[in-house]
Structure 1
Amino acid sequence: MRAPLWQHTVDRLGDTSTIMLSGELDLSADREVREAIIGELQRPGLTRLLIDMQAVTFIDSTVTATLVYTSNAAHKSDRQFTISPSQRVRRIVELTGLSYLLDPADR
Structure 2
Amino acid sequence: MTEVPLWSAHVTALDGHRTVRLAGELDMAAADELIELLLAELGTPGAAAVEADLGAVTFFDSAALGALIVAYQRAEETDRQFSVTNPTRTVRRVLEITGVYDFLVRPA
Paired residue for 1:103?
106
Cross-structure match for 1:92 = 94
Give 1:45 deviation, angstroms.
1.1
User: How far apart, CA to CA, are the structure 1 residues paired with 2:49 and 2:39?
Assistant: 13
CA-based RMSD:
0.9
1:1-107 correspondence to structure 2 within 5 Å: 1-84=2-85, 85-99=87-101, 100-105=103-108
Name stretches of at least 5 consecutive residues in structure 1 with no aligned partner. none
Instruction: State how far apart, in whole Å, the 1-side matches of 2:107 and 2:75 are.
Output: 17
Give me the TM-score of the superposition, normalised by structure 1. 0.94
1:74 CA displacement: 0.5
What is the percentage of aligned positions where both structures have the same residue?
Answer: 39
Once residues 3 and 44 of structure 2 are traced to their aligned partners in structure 1, the CA distance between those partners, rounded to angstroms, is 32
- Give the total of aligned pairs: 105
1:2 Cα deviation after fit: 3.3
Q: TM-score normalized by structure 2? A: 0.93
